[in-house]
Structure 1
Amino acid sequence: MTTVGQQPDRTSVATAEHTTVPGQRPPGQLRRVTGTITRRVRPFDAAVAALFLLAAHLLYVNLWSDLAHGYLTDSGGDQNQAEWFMAIAAENIAHLHNPFFTTVQGFPDGVNLMANTVMLGLTVPLTPITLAFGPTVTYALVLTWGLAGTGIAWYWVLGRWAVRSRPAAAVGAALAAFAPPMISHGNAHPNFTALFMIPLIVDRALCLCRGDRVVRDAVLLGLFTAYQIFIGEEVLLIAAVGMLLFAAAYALADPGRAREAARPLRKGLPIALAMVLPLVAGPLYVQFLGPGSYTDVPHGYGVVVNSPLSFLQFAGRSLAGNEAIADRFAVNRLEQNAFYGWPLAGLALVIAVRLWHRALVKALVCTAIGGAVLSMGPRIQVPGTHIVLPGPWRLILDLPLFGSVIESRFGMVCAPVLGVLVALAVDRITASSEPRLKAAGLVAVAAALLPIVPTPYPVNVRPAVPDFIADGTWRRYVDEGQTVVPVPLAHSYTTESQHWQSATRMAFTMPGGYFMAPNGPAHVGNYNPEPRPTYRLLGTVYTSGKVPEIGPRQRAEAEADLSYWKAGVVVLAPGFNAPPLYQTLRQLLGRDGTLIGGAWVWDVNDGTSATRRPGA
């Protein structure tokens, strides 16, 4: 009797009893098992789901314990950004505003929300929670339940398609959902942790290959894909590449079954596409052609890539990890997109060699290698040498959409692949009748997984919103149609003013911001809006701590920028490099600020700088 994924003897029905792969219906006993799984949830299934939820909550226990003041330490400005997206989505729904565009931030040009990670598929349904409890609660929910939901979804799919043992499915799902790259993005990228739709898309694609109910499966595949677009498009693109790699490798490993799967795919994929297009055509038009749309987002040629050695390292948040070492192999702690550790890499190699006769394993290994090599970028330096090899990424770099993807993120393709391989190994080990062999195998698996067990996220205290903003005093200085100009203006390196907006339910409008926006005549994507002179000047002061020379040109530019922004008041809160910022503003605006409600305030309500006011 063969196990799942093993190539059966086509002359023997008994040999194929437990085989469920693309192109073949799940026969006999396995059909009964999977039917039971889908009909009702067994106690073990409920226990696995509860365990995943508990594990996710333990990871975020420090955030949950102080939602009013907690800020994930390694999130940079991304927590404020993510909460802002959740808040603006809720306010747009509550006030029946355009859910795809807003001028509340980035005034007057605005923000193309479809071209940013607003996650409408989650933020819109969670609007009541956001409005009732605030965006930080929604943010914590999406991060926590996103990780847990991803694990539950992979558990269901592995139990349905890959293994008979529920414990094996649970172990594989835990690895897929809580792998080091997932934990890295869990610092502040909810669109890369809430991946529960990806396993369901994989499931429907496999059902479509089977050919039982082509129309139903194609319709569901289309609906699931459309929904994933409203959760995270980059994730969908990476998953699609992984699925294509798997399909190509499987076709080479077992051409006969690939031909069988091709027939229902030819019929079903057009149906799925017909389901997707009407649901996403309008929003995607806004994203790519509407106001605030942009072209590619250059990250530098071969800059944000994985080193081959990074796959053998431990992530900073792993049990065996060292942050100082991990920092040398990643651009920041949000992009540790490899870091599976050498024990797991070694275990995967042993599993691949031992089970290489299975077409499924061959396809999985090729998928992992393909994703890993793509993540190394267009130039791959051989460790320990000066040899640089051309990477396959250069072949797809100029294709539509790929120019905006961070290539190192393709290393995440390895997470579910490793999860399936480990699940297959545990399934085989637990089926062994040799106690010693079983014990040795389980110890080996535990030894490979224990070092990458994630540790709880650290949390800092978030700076408080100044009373001038929090209690609404700013309203005395801002007329209808005017803006609050926070200093420093929101940027990728400072996002406190975004939190001011989120905390006050978007009560005021402001220029600047941390969001994807077009820059320059070519409309190239950037992480900030087109920088006007004063925006750039104040940003330089914030990062350098030095007061620049201010002359007539800088004052004239400030006057023009404040007029362009329709400024009513300029606000500087205490914080990093506030003294040099104050001195710069004092020279730009021609007078001292007034300390009101814990912030320095300059009234520019007439739309011009104080340098133009009589007696200034």
Structure 2
Amino acid sequence: MVLAAALVTKGFWAGPAGRALALNANDQALDEWFLAYATRAYRGDFGLVTAALNAPEGINVLGNASLVGLGVLLAPLTLAFGAPVTFAVAIALNLAANGAGWYLLFARGARLHRLAALIGGAFCGFAPGMVSQSNGHLHMTAAWLVPPIAWCVFHLAERTRNGLLLGLLIAGQFFLGEEVLLLAAVALTLFCLAYAATTRPVPRHALPGLARGLAVAGAVAGALLAYPIWTQFRGPQSAHGGVFQPEFYSADLRSFAAISPLSLAGGDGAARLASGPAEYTAFFGAPLLIVVLGATLWLWRRPAVVACTVVSLVLCALALGPRIVAGHERTDQWAPYSLLSGLPVLEWALPTRFALAAAPLLAFVLASVVHTALTQTETLKLLVPVAVTAALVPLAPMPLPTVERAPVPRFFTEGYWRGFAPRDGTIVPVPLPDWRDPQAMRWAAATDVAFATPQGWFIGPYGDGGNSAVGVFPRPTSQLLHRTVANDSAPILTDRDRVDLRRDIAFWHASCFVLADGQKGAGALKSTLDALLGPGERVADVWVWRARN
């Protein structure tokens, strides 16, 4: 598992600080900022609402897929080597830990043959959807607590202490990735119902113990998560409604039989069947689906196998979104997700990601058929494992594409910034970062978020009626700087521009403005700032203007 994870991330290892995801560099910048922000927990300066981004109004950390748990766990690594190294390690760690966790559940929990469990675990860890989500969505790949959560659910009726452990694991997964926790809850609930429906006699004797265990788990998780959940949904800078349209983030019907472009046998042509390179969640491939169908027909007397297949179908149907899309063509055909549309909490889950929850269920079917062939047959002992392996080989992950990126200016990495702004003061990047180009957020990340940044790439309550929106509407000075970049020429400044600048400096509590070498439109930006604030100071590899209100 570790070697496979290292292969997937090999593009980073020559120099993580100078490499970026070729397919999603913007989300990487956001993740690195959150990983760096988490280090503040080690000096007792971490909050679930912070003004370190979008200064001075701040952001609601839990409303932003903020990697709280992963960031705190890996904070020593971030403090020692920087957020880019932690980001690369986190990608590999999540993939390897997911695979190892499911292997242990299949081998020890389900008591499957080790080879069968290894095949199932490897598919869980490196399924096309998980590799795809590794393109900047660490909160979706940090799912290695789901196998122990599943184990606790399956053994909940045996001991009350399993309910205690389940509550603790739920709280832990909440801080690793809430959307993963939601998907796991949906999948496990559907599996338990399907298993009970296909088991004869119905295991009614387990219901009292199950109820007690769920009550204990709910009490423990509720006590630990009451304040964080209130903060996320009712606290400062909390936002209502999902910001991403489910119609756009829906799985294409044809994608289920396609091979991911990030897989060994994939091609770029299949990319059009997904909303983006981080959402190849449903690309299971026709060979795998055929093998799963054959395995289910062979093992149709086993309730767990049948339940896994049925629930996988339900989850994949939900992944289709409100209306079915086939071959990149949207139809008017109703899809099951329409039943969930607008429901609280569920509206935050993107439809296509329900297919991620199907991967472990399909893996169990594959592992079960291999186990049966190895332990209960002679003629199929070799044929079945070979057939399953042949269906999985085309899905083998390729290394994530990476590209070079501009280094963080020495002004920040070597500490020059301290002479221009106090700790937790506000430094204004020129131009200001937003969802289109958040790379300047890496400057703060390089200092372990020791200063605040206005604007940025985040989700906040800036839509109509306080609903969710990406970023904040830029202030006049920010608009002026972005127009300067777009036109690549210094604008004719007016008294109104100077008044707006003074107001924006006061609003941001800005200490200084910083323009890095190599910035697009750097000449025009420098001329504009010189005209507004006077001649800039050359420090290391940047131009700096002290804010004058």
TM-score norm. by structure 1 comes to 0.83
Q: Is the 8 A contact 1:313 1:342 kept in 2?
A: yes
Q: 1:352 to 1:479 in 2, by over 3 A?
A: closer
Q: 1:63 to 1:381 in 2, by over 3 A?
A: closer
SS in structure 2 at match of 1:388: strand
Encode CA deviations 1:401-436: one digit per residue, 9 max, x unaligned: 12222221111012111111110111122225434x
Residue identity in the other structure for 2:350? I
Counterpart check, 1:336 vs 2:280: yes
SS in structure 1 at match of 2:428: strand
Within 2, Cα distance between the matches of 1:260 and 1:135?
51
TM-superposed deviation, 1:582: 1.7
Q: Is the 8 A contact 1:541 1:580 kept in 2?
A: no
Within 1, Cα distance between the matches of 2:530 and 2:131?
46
Q: 1:499 to 1:247 in 2, by over 3 A?
A: same
Within 2, Cα distance between the matches of 1:453 and 1:375?
22
Residue identity in the other structure for 1:60? T
Counterpart check, 1:195 vs 2:143: yes
Counterpart check, 1:86 vs 2:31: no
SS in structure 2 at match of 1:74: coil
Within 2, Cα distance between the matches of 1:457 and 1:254?
43
Within 1, Cα distance between the matches of 2:452 and 2:331?
52
Q: Is the 8 A contact 2:19 2:402 kept in 1?
A: yes
Q: 1:329 to 1:567 in 2, by over 3 A?
A: same
Within 1, Cα distance between the matches of 2:201 and 2:485?
63
User: Could you tell which deviates more after superposition, 337-346 or 247-256?
Assistant: 247-256
Task: Find the counterpart in structure 2 of residue 459 from structure 1.
Answer: 402
Within 1, Cα distance between the matches of 2:37 and 2:424?
18
Q: Select the residue among 431, 437, 442 that pairs with 2:385.
A: 442
Task: Find the counterpart in structure 1 of residue 466 from structure 2.
Answer: 523
TM-superposed deviation, 1:484: 1.2
Task: Find the counterpart in structure 1 of residue 368 from structure 2.
Answer: 424
Task: Find the counterpart in structure 1 of residue 158 from structure 2.
Answer: 212
Q: 1:247 to 1:538 in 2, by over 3 A?
A: farther
Q: Is the 8 A contact 1:554 1:588 kept in 2?
A: no
Residue identity in the other structure for 1:528? G
Residue identity in the other structure for 1:212? E
Counterpart check, 1:233 vs 2:178: yes
What are the within-5 Å matches in structure 2 for residues 260-275 of structure 1?
260-275=205-220
What are the within-5 Å matches in structure 2 for residues 267-416 of structure 1?
267-322=212-267, 324-382=268-326, 387-416=331-360
Residue identity in the other structure for 2:238? S
Within 2, Cα distance between the matches of 1:382 and 1:330?
11
Residue identity in the other structure for 2:213? G
Q: Select the residue among 6, 10, 13 that pairs with 1:64.
A: 13
Task: Find the counterpart in structure 1 of residue 548 from structure 2.
Answer: 606
Residue identity in the other structure for 1:514? W
Counterpart check, 1:108 vs 2:59: no
SS in structure 1 at match of 2:382: helix
Residue identity in the other structure for 2:272? R
SS in structure 2 at match of 1:431: helix
Task: Find the counterpart in structure 1 of residue 24 from structure 2.
Answer: 75
TM-superposed deviation, 1:255: 6.2
Structure 2: unaligned runs, 5 residues or longer? none
TM-superposed deviation, 1:145: 1.7
Residue identity in the other structure for 2:158? D
SS in structure 1 at match of 2:176: coil
Within 2, Cα distance between the matches of 1:396 and 1:409?
14
Within 2, Cα distance between the matches of 1:556 and 1:269?
60
TM-superposed deviation, 1:580: 7.8
Residue identity in the other structure for 1:232? G
Within 2, Cα distance between the matches of 1:549 and 1:253?
74
Residue identity in the other structure for 1:464? P
Q: Is the 8 A contact 1:550 1:584 kept in 2?
A: no
Within 2, Cα distance between the matches of 1:357 and 1:192?
34
User: Could you tell which deviates more after superposition, 240-249 or 577-586?
Assistant: 577-586
Q: Is the 8 A contact 1:245 1:366 kept in 2?
A: no
Structure 1: unaligned runs, 5 residues or longer? 1-51, 608-616
SS in structure 1 at match of 2:155: helix
Q: 1:408 to 1:387 in 2, by over 3 A?
A: closer
Task: Find the counterpart in structure 2 of residue 145 from structure 1.
Answer: 93
Q: Is the 8 A contact 1:150 1:196 kept in 2?
A: yes
Counterpart check, 1:473 vs 2:419: no
Counterpart check, 1:506 vs 2:446: no
Q: Is the 8 A contact 2:515 2:526 kept in 1?
A: no
**Count of aligned pairs between the two proteins:** 549
TM-superposed deviation, 1:382: 4.9
Q: Is the 8 A contact 1:518 1:530 kept in 2?
A: no
The alignment yields a C-alpha RMSD, in angstroms, of 2.6
Q: Is the 8 A contact 1:311 1:338 kept in 2?
A: yes
Counterpart check, 1:487 vs 2:436: no
Q: 1:581 to 1:395 in 2, by over 3 A?
A: farther
SS in structure 1 at match of 2:429: strand
Q: Is the 8 A contact 2:533 2:548 kept in 1?
A: no
Q: 1:440 to 1:480 in 2, by over 3 A?
A: closer
TM-superposed deviation, 1:175: 0.5
Q: Is the 8 A contact 1:468 1:596 kept in 2?
A: yes
Within 1, Cα distance between the matches of 2:490 and 2:293?
57
Encode CA deviations 1:145-168: one digit per residue, 9 max, x unaligned: 221111111011112343531110
Task: Find the counterpart in structure 1 of residue 76 from structure 2.
Answer: 128
Residue identity in the other structure for 1:484? I
Residue identity in the other structure for 1:126? L
Within 2, Cα distance between the matches of 1:102 and 1:312?
44
User: Could you tell which deviates more after superposition, 184-193 or 514-523?
Assistant: 514-523
Task: Find the counterpart in structure 2 of residue 249 from structure 1.
Answer: 194
Within 2, Cα distance between the matches of 1:109 and 1:193?
30
Sequence identity of aligned pairs in percent?
34
Within 2, Cα distance between the matches of 1:469 and 1:144?
28
Within 2, Cα distance between the matches of 1:520 and 1:61?
40
Residue identity in the other structure for 2:407? A
TM-superposed deviation, 1:542: 5.3
Q: Select the residue among 118, 138, 148 that pairs with 1:170.
A: 118
TM-superposed deviation, 1:576: 5.6
Residue identity in the other structure for 1:89? A
TM-superposed deviation, 1:587: 9.1
Within 1, Cα distance between the matches of 2:488 and 2:283?
36
Counterpart check, 1:53 vs 2:53: no
Within 1, Cα distance between the matches of 2:312 and 2:304?
12
Q: Is the 8 A contact 2:324 2:330 kept in 1?
A: no
TM-superposed deviation, 1:368: 0.8
TM-superposed deviation, 1:529: 3.4
